[in-house]
């Protein structure tokens, strides 16, 4: 069975003390039984959160990185810097990066390959807008994001990749894809990865759902066969709801 993975994307929230306290409380109160747990603080707090979580087994992720190792790229952070700050993972291609900051599929792919080459784990985000869903383009958009995002990634590197399906229309809106809608896309993506690589790679791939995941909908979502965890936004900013989502993952997978 694929080990479920619940990760909290804190986005541009919290201060240093609040980030450290939240991380410490998640570590203290979560038994983590059978579930991988991760948090993605703002980059300026990655070192402090990494230090607070040392030895706990909880992953620390950056929310983004650049694809060059160094150079005149003001404001950017390289994969090596992410590692040096104490993180072991990075979120790449989040819809906010694509739609607010204009990241292209080509840029996302460069970041994925650079992060993997540096030794980071990658959470690759994919997902359609409301207009694309209403135009019946969900599968074509998710296929493009997946195919282009993984271009040049070898099968043996896929063990360090998690895909997060995040319908853009459900992020921060309070709207959530129904479990059936989410499962349909997750199954489609798994089938696509089987075509791009092989069945063994596809069966091992973990696909998270993200988009207004809360304590009261997490169990039903993660009970679906192809949903292997959650990438959680707002609900990860407080200990109790985040722990409830982790517990939902345990219950959903019979752990």
| Active-site pick, 36, 145, 166, 186 | 166
Residue 143 to residue 128: CA distance in whole angstroms: 10
Residue 224 to residue 199: CA distance in whole angstroms: 19
Q: How many CA atoms lie within 13 A of 180 on its CB side?
A: 0
Task: Report whether 193 contacts 161 (CB < 8 A).
Answer: no
Task: Report whether 127 contacts 142 (CB < 8 A).
Answer: yes
Q: Say whether 166 is catalytic.
A: yes
| Active-site pick, 36, 59, 94, 186 | 94
Residue 207 to residue 233: CA distance in whole angstroms: 16
Could you tell me which residues come within 8 angstroms of residue 194 by beta carbon, excluding any fewer than 6 positions away?
201, 202, 203
Q: Say whether 94 is catalytic.
A: yes
Residue 240 to residue 125: CA distance in whole angstroms: 25
Residue 233 to residue 180: CA distance in whole angstroms: 21
Residue 228 to residue 206: CA distance in whole angstroms: 5
| Sign of the alpha-carbon dihedral angle for 250, 204, 149, 141 | negative
Helix (H) or strand (E) holding 122: strand 121-126
Q: Which of 103, 19, 16 is nearest to 65 (CA)?
A: 103
Distances (CA, A) of 151 to 2, 17, 251: 24, 39, 35
- Residues recognised as catalytic: 94, 166
């Amino acid at each position: 069975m694929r080990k479920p993975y619940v990760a909290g994307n804190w986005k541009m929230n919290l201060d240093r003390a609040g980030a450290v306290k939240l991380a410490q409380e998640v570590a203290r109160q979560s038994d983590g039984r059978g579930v991988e747990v991760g948090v993605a603080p703002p980059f300026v707090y990655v070192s402090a959160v990494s230090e607070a979580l040392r030895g706990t087994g909880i992953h620390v992720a950056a929310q983004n990185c650049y694809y060059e190792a160094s150079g005149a790229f003001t404001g950017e952070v390289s994969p090596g810097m992410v590692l040096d700050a104490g993180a072991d993972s990075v979120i790449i291609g989040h819809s906010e990066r694509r739609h607010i900051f204009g990241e292209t599929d080509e840029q996302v792919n460069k970041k994925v390959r650079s992060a993997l080459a540096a030794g980071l784990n990658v959470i690759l985000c994919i997902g359609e807008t409301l207009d694309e869903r209403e135009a019946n383009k969900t599968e074509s958009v998710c296929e493009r994001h997946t195919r282009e995002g993984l271009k040049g990634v070898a099968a043996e590197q896929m063990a360090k990749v998690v895909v997060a399906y995040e319908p853009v229309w459900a992020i921060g809106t309070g709207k959530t894809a129904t479990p059936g809608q989410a499962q349909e896309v997750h199954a489609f993506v798994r089938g696509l990865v089987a075509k791009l690589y092989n069945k063994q790679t596809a069966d091992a791939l973990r696909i998270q759902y993200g988009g207004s995941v809360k304590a009261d909908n997490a169990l039903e979502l993660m009970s679906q066969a192809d949903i292997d965890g959650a990438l959680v936004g707002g609900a990860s900013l407080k200990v109790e709801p985040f722990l409830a989502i982790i517990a939902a993952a345990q219950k959903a997978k019979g752990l």
